[in-house]
Amino acid sequence: ALGGLSRLLAPYGGRDARGREDQASHAMLDNEIKEQRVMGTLLPAIFLAVAAFLLHVVLSRLVATQREQIAALKALGYANAAIAAHYLKLVSVIVVVGLALGVALGNWLGTMLTGLYAEFFFFPVFEHRIAPWLILVGAGVTGTTALLGTLSAIGATVRLAPAEAMRP
């Protein structure tokens, strides 16, 4: 097919018809899409790991400063689950605010980058859309990461006996 096209275009100055994979513009666009795919997978994983680490550090310090109060609550009969639920509620507020900001800023940035790509690569129609399932998956992964970071921070203190936890 390419040979026939080359012969057909030869009288008009066409030298050689090439397939899409041999065109520089396709290679450039294909490489850009591959880069975005890698960055779209790698960066969120890094951010989630850093967020889980920060939650662990902050909550570990918070739990350490409230260790005596936790021990007193345990001595009064509060269950480990009730104490852990208190900290999980605190973290859930942080997660919901972070999700709202992340979705809003991600949508804005996606719209800006889509416009930039449409202008740079001369796409006639190039729209930015967020799939609802993607937000749900992001919320699930973020919630799970926050849950693991929180439980790892409060687990050791909650498991202590009340008398042991009251020691300075």
Q: Within a domain: residue 82?
A: yes
- Closest CA relative to residue 59, chosen from 146, 154, 136, 134: 154
Q: Is the dihedral of CA 72, 76, 81, 87 positive or negative?
A: negative
pLDDT of residue 122: 83
Q: Within a domain: residue 19?
A: no
**pLDDT tens track of the chain, all 168 residues?**
667 777 777 777 777 777 777 778 888 888 888 998 888 889 888 988 898 888 889 998 998 898 888 888 988 999 989 998 999 999 999 999 999 999 999 999 999 988 888 888 888 888 889 999 999 999 999 999 888 888 888 887 788 788 777 777
Give the number of domains in the chain. Answer: 1
Looking up tokens 């190039």, which residue turns up? 126
pLDDT of residue 118: 86
- Closest CA relative to residue 83, chosen from 149, 93, 56, 75: 75
Q: Within a domain: residue 119?
A: yes
Q: Within a domain: residue 3?
A: no
Q: Within a domain: residue 18?
A: no
| Euclidean distance between the first and the last CA atom of the chain, given in angstroms as a whole number | 83
Q: Reduce the DSSP state of residue 23 to 3 states and report it.
A: coil
Q: Domain range for residue 95?
A: 24-165
Q: Within a domain: residue 61?
A: yes
Q: Within a domain: residue 146?
A: yes
List Cβ neighbours of 32 (8 Å cut-off, separation of 6 or more): 117
Please count the CA atoms within 13 angstroms of the CA of 37 that sit on its side-chain side.
Answer: 6
pLDDT of residue 1: 64
pTM: 0.74
Q: Within a domain: residue 102?
A: yes
